[in-house]
Chain A
Amino acid sequence: MPRDPASAAPPDALRLRGIRKVFGGVTALDAVDFGVGAGEVHCLAGENGSGKSTLIKIVTGVYQPDPGAGIEIFGQTHTQITPTLARKAGIAVIWQDLALFPEMTVAENIAFETLLGNRPRWVSYARLRDTARAALARLDIDLDLEARLGDLPIAQRQIVAIARALVSDARLIFMDEPTASLTQSETDALLAVVRTLSDRGVAVVFVSHRLAEVLEIAARVTVLRDGRLVGVYPTEGMTQSRLSELMTGTSFAQAVTARDAAGPEVLRIENLSRAGEYDDISFTLHAGEVLGLTGLIGAGRTELCHSLFGMTRPDRGRILLNGEGLQLRSNRDAVAQGIAYVSEDRLALGLIQPQSIADNAVLSVLKRISGAGGLLSAQKKEATVSHWLRELAVKIGLPEDPVSTLSGGNQQRVVLAKWLATEPKVLLLDCPTVGVDVGARAGIFRIVRQLADRGLAILLVSDEVPEVFLNADRVLHMAGGRIIHQWDPRQTRLQDMEAAVYA
């Protein structure tokens, strides 16, 4: 049941009651109450499709709620919210893509609000800089105002986006997955900024699926599931597993699946180095084994994968496949040798979004499914597609539907199908659950374990330590381009592993 401990506080930043939104027969939000106290850090949690985005869009006036909703912003009752009203009332959203301007300077990006309006005015760059400097001062942060925004790392761009919201006098800031592409230390810096905002009376609504952060930063968490309010909970005393249960409505057996590698050695890496990316990497990977590789973003994990997949060339060291030295000149070589790579960026690199599920699934084996004269054989294609979709239990309408219509979890299965069709011996999985719901992740890892049972050698790369802890047989810890530690999950506690990686 929702609780409301903030009833005695100064006027709440936001009070929504009975928010309902139906899109052509589909109920996106059903009688949802949502409140944020003044200066509170509040978390909005829920799986993809739970109604978080719809709620944000209603608060910012992009969508109108169905009649009967109660809306109160900073103590003032409104019958409806328009984008203009939301902005004037001090509500700002920092979208995941930040909506900034990479070619313009930091100062212009921060003070962008002052450049708006249909009537042309003269621009004073001195005043732009003053405005930007003042906004950054409120965050206790110093940035080079004349730098081109595109030259800044993503964490600093985030700061720019927050400062920009302050310039438009935001008193309630929504942050949509702000830490998705930040390293741990950058995340910590961002959380510090959020606390500064909160101390200065700006309320922040944090939308994140990283439950550890949610529990660290927020005072309360509102959980949505399937468009309904599950409840509002204080974060004190809340655990990650309880929170993910609330989000998914099911409880997960959190058992370590590690066991001893059964098969022969498939891949051996000896002293592999590439300047500026990774250094002196050595490990072995056996048939039937799931080898975990974890570390922060920037540790060199993805760069190592790129070399193992033939996309970059190591400066030194050897890669041996079944005892024979490999010289990979391109990723075509790697595929021919039986190495498959499921990339981190599924949206941009893993799938051709507008093309059909079937076309995506056979993309890696076009040569194999072609018949006479090198033309594609419809029968072979159909056979390959239906075999793998069945094998991986992909939930689809028709194989002809665009792959973009699938959920994150099912898209990831199509990517897997595409690579499994090449009949690889080694499968490199780079962050396979990015953008996949908590519930669907379990399904992905079930498949990973089944594939290993059939003798595939799997390298599971992830920056989420629990994932490798629960699903890998051994875990390598990579930091600063080197492998600095190896764990057996059966003889380690998750807390110790997390403490070592996130330190």
Chain B
Amino acid sequence: MHSFLRAYPTEAKLFVVLILISTGLSLASPDFLTLVNVTSLLNNNAVNVIWAVGLLVVLIAGGIDISFAVAASVVQYLCVYAFAAIGGGNWAIGFLFAGTFGLALGLINAFLIHQFRIISIVVTISTFNAFFGLLMFFSSGRFLYNLPSWWSSRVILWEYQTASGTWAELILPVAVMAAAMFATWALIRRTTTGRQLYAFGDNPEGARRAGISIGRMQAIAFGWSGMMAGIAGLMQTQITKEVVPNALIGRELEVLAAVVLGGARLGGGRGSVLGCFLGVLLVAVTQNGLNLLGVSPYAFKMVVGIIILLAISTSNLDPSRLFRGAAR
């Protein structure tokens, strides 16, 4: 326990805050800690978590990605046409296509960053605009409803009728979220490549001198982020049942904030999958709680902003030291 606190101080702190907020909300609103509410929280935030673990890999490698939410929209449109072209498709083909398209978009970012030595924020702001501009131009802003039925109909993995008659359910994105979290954890914690990503983000010059290929690191980081963006795009239709070109733009900052809240450092070299999950969840729980308490949705962003400011400005406090002090 103590070694966990030492290795993951931010995550531990976040967990405590999440428990406190959840306890407060369950006391304030009887609707908060119900099976229906908790499962719908997970369903509605699975896409954010998938994005977040992709972005996490970029942040660990010392970069930043602004383009992933728009990339997810691009992938959705490419998928619609690709599925039509092959006459329907199925889930296996869906994952393959969405992952590949996303990966390709991510590799465009990596190529520009590495080849022309431009910092990632500039490149991904450019591709964010370019992707979105191209998407709006070619789609003329049209919504697409004629999705293959396997894609647009909800895949319910588990359901349960509560005593009050309402249904609690978990849908496919939650399972995909779990898989994405596991895969990202395995990559960054359990493979040599993942440790190289940490090292590269931590001290790029030191990594270069040790013989780590910088181009390869950028390709893996942005490729992973792109692939996760593509899969997140595929999952998004499980919730909206349609493809709308400007549905996802703007979500990137929300996810970025959650990942930073989860302990990833903008300078690189630090961050964990658990932190990402807790970060997304904290933002979601707060919004959900405000909603249940009847606070105007217009105040949500303000509250989320305040939470992030508090989290960042108190991150210099070492919670493991606080706990050690309390234990004495």
| Interfacial residues of chain A within 83-100, with CB under 8 A of chain B in the complex | 83, 95, 97-100
Check B196–A103 contact: CB distance below 8 A.
no
Query: How many angstroms from the CA of A100 to the CA of B195 in the assembled complex?
Result: 13
Q: Determine, out of A120-128, A351-359, A377-385, the stretch whose residues face the partner at the interface.
A: A120-128
21 A-B residue pairs with Cβ-Cβ distance under 8 Å, sorted by A, are A95-B209, A98-B206, A99-B209, A101-B199, A101-B203, A101-B206, A101-B207, A103-B198, A103-B265, A103-B270, A104-B195, A113-B210, A115-B192, A116-B192, A116-B196, A117-B192, A118-B213, A118-B216, A120-B191, A123-B190, A123-B195
Contact indicator per residue, chain B 178-216, by CB within 8 Å of chain A (1) or not (0): 000000000001111111101100110111011111001
Q: At the interface, yes or no: A108 with Cβ under 8 Å from chain B? A: yes
| Interfacial residues of chain B within 208-228, with CB under 8 A of chain A in the complex | 209-213, 216
Contacts of B199 in A (CB 8 A): 101, 104, 112, 115
Interface size of B as a range: 20 to 34
Q: A99-B209, A102-B202, A123-B191 are in contact. Are A115 and B6 (CB under 8 A)?
A: no
> Among B192, B205, B213, which residue has its beta carbon within 8 angstroms of that of A121?
B192
Check A116–B205 contact: CB distance below 8 A.
no
Q: At the interface, yes or no: B269 with Cβ under 8 Å from chain A? A: yes
Known contacts A104-B202, A121-B191, A123-B189; 14 additional CB pairs below 8 A are: A83-B211, A99-B203, A99-B205, A99-B210, A101-B198, A102-B202, A103-B265, A108-B195, A115-B192, A116-B196, A117-B192, A120-B192, A123-B194, A146-B7
Contacts of B209 in A (CB 8 A): 95, 99
Contacts of B213 in A (CB 8 A): 118
Q: At the interface, yes or no: B3 with Cβ under 8 Å from chain A? A: yes
Query: How many angstroms from the CA of A81 to the CA of B210 in the assembled complex?
Result: 17
Check A103–B191 contact: CB distance below 8 A.
no
Interface size of A as a range: 20 to 34
Check B190–A122 contact: CB distance below 8 A.
yes
Contacts of A83 in B (CB 8 A): 211
Q: Shortest beta-carbon distance, B212 to chain A, in Å?
A: 7
Contacts of B192 in A (CB 8 A): 115-117, 120-123
Q: Shortest beta-carbon distance, A61 to chain B, in Å?
A: 12
Contact indicator per residue, chain B 49-82, by CB within 8 Å of chain A (1) or not (0): 0000000000000000000000000000000000
Query: How many angstroms from the CA of A104 to the CA of B198 in the assembled complex?
Result: 8
Q: Shortest beta-carbon distance, A227 to chain B, in Å?
A: 25
The 5 A-B pairs at the shortest CB distance, nearest first, are namely A99-B206, A103-B269, A120-B193, A101-B202, A103-B202
| Interfacial residues of chain B within 237-284, with CB under 8 A of chain A in the complex | 265, 269-270
Contacts of A113 in B (CB 8 A): 210
* Residue ID in chain B nearest A95 by CB atoms: B209
Q: Shortest beta-carbon distance, B21 to chain A, in Å?
A: 28
Contacts of B206 in A (CB 8 A): 97-101
Among A101, A122, A123, the one with the most B-chain Cβ atoms within 10 Å of its Cβ is A101
Query: How many angstroms from the CA of A98 to the CA of B209 in the assembled complex?
Result: 11
Contacts of A118 in B (CB 8 A): 213, 216
Could you tell me which A residues sit within 8 Å of B by CB distance?
A: 83, 95, 97-104, 108, 112-113, 115-118, 120-123, 146, 148
Q: Shortest beta-carbon distance, B59 to chain A, in Å?
A: 12
* Residue ID in chain B nearest A93 by CB atoms: B209
* Residue ID in chain A nearest B206 by CB atoms: A99
Check B190–A112 contact: CB distance below 8 A.
no
Query: How many angstroms from the CA of A122 to the CA of B217 in the assembled complex?
Result: 17
Query: How many angstroms from the CA of A121 to the CA of B212 in the assembled complex?
Result: 15
Q: A102-B202, A104-B202 are in contact. Are A146 and B6 (CB under 8 A)?
A: yes
* Residue ID in chain B nearest A105 by CB atoms: B7
Check B203–A100 contact: CB distance below 8 A.
yes
Contacts of B207 in A (CB 8 A): 101
Query: How many angstroms from the CA of A146 to the CA of B211 in the assembled complex?
Result: 24
Query: How many angstroms from the CA of A377 to the CA of B170 in the assembled complex?
Result: 70
* Residue ID in chain B nearest A83 by CB atoms: B211
Contacts of B191 in A (CB 8 A): 120-123
Query: How many angstroms from the CA of A98 to the CA of B213 in the assembled complex?
Result: 19
Contacts of A103 in B (CB 8 A): 198, 202, 265, 269-270
* Residue ID in chain B nearest A151 by CB atoms: B6
Contacts of B190 in A (CB 8 A): 122-123
* Residue ID in chain B nearest A147 by CB atoms: B6
Query: How many angstroms from the CA of A122 to the CA of B7 in the assembled complex?
Result: 20
Q: Shortest beta-carbon distance, B115 to chain A, in Å?
A: 19
Q: Shortest beta-carbon distance, B199 to chain A, in Å?
A: 5
> Among B189, B198, B212, B269, which residue has its beta carbon within 8 angstroms of that of A116?
B212
Query: How many angstroms from the CA of A104 to the CA of B200 in the assembled complex?
Result: 11
Query: How many angstroms from the CA of A98 to the CA of B211 in the assembled complex?
Result: 15
* Residue ID in chain B nearest A114 by CB atoms: B192
Check B210–A112 contact: CB distance below 8 A.
yes
Query: How many angstroms from the CA of A165 to the CA of B180 in the assembled complex?
Result: 37
Q: Shortest beta-carbon distance, A195 to chain B, in Å?
A: 27
Check A116–B202 contact: CB distance below 8 A.
no
Query: How many angstroms from the CA of A322 to the CA of B216 in the assembled complex?
Result: 63
Contacts of B270 in A (CB 8 A): 103
Contacts of B205 in A (CB 8 A): 97, 99
Q: Shortest beta-carbon distance, B270 to chain A, in Å?
A: 5
Query: How many angstroms from the CA of A179 to the CA of B183 in the assembled complex?
Result: 44
Q: Shortest beta-carbon distance, A144 to chain B, in Å?
A: 10
Query: How many angstroms from the CA of A146 to the CA of B216 in the assembled complex?
Result: 28
Query: How many angstroms from the CA of A113 to the CA of B210 in the assembled complex?
Result: 8
Q: Shortest beta-carbon distance, A338 to chain B, in Å?
A: 35
Query: How many angstroms from the CA of A98 to the CA of B205 in the assembled complex?
Result: 11
Query: How many angstroms from the CA of A122 to the CA of B194 in the assembled complex?
Result: 10
Q: Shortest beta-carbon distance, A206 to chain B, in Å?
A: 20
Q: Shortest beta-carbon distance, A146 to chain B, in Å?
A: 6
Check A116–B6 contact: CB distance below 8 A.
no
Contact indicator per residue, chain B 109-129, by CB within 8 Å of chain A (1) or not (0): 000000000000000000000
Q: Shortest beta-carbon distance, B144 to chain A, in Å?
A: 38
Query: How many angstroms from the CA of A121 to the CA of B209 in the assembled complex?
Result: 21
Check A115–B202 contact: CB distance below 8 A.
no
Q: Shortest beta-carbon distance, A98 to chain B, in Å?
A: 8
Q: Shortest beta-carbon distance, B17 to chain A, in Å?
A: 23
Contacts of A100 in B (CB 8 A): 203, 206
Q: A112-B210, A118-B216 are in contact. Are A101 and B269 (CB under 8 A)?
A: yes
Query: How many angstroms from the CA of A111 to the CA of B111 in the assembled complex?
Result: 31
Q: Shortest beta-carbon distance, B190 to chain A, in Å?
A: 6
Q: Shortest beta-carbon distance, A158 to chain B, in Å?
A: 14
Query: How many angstroms from the CA of A401 to the CA of B211 in the assembled complex?
Result: 34
Among A83, A113, A117, the one with the most B-chain Cβ atoms within 10 Å of its Cβ is A117
Contacts of B211 in A (CB 8 A): 83, 116
Q: Shortest beta-carbon distance, A111 to chain B, in Å?
A: 10
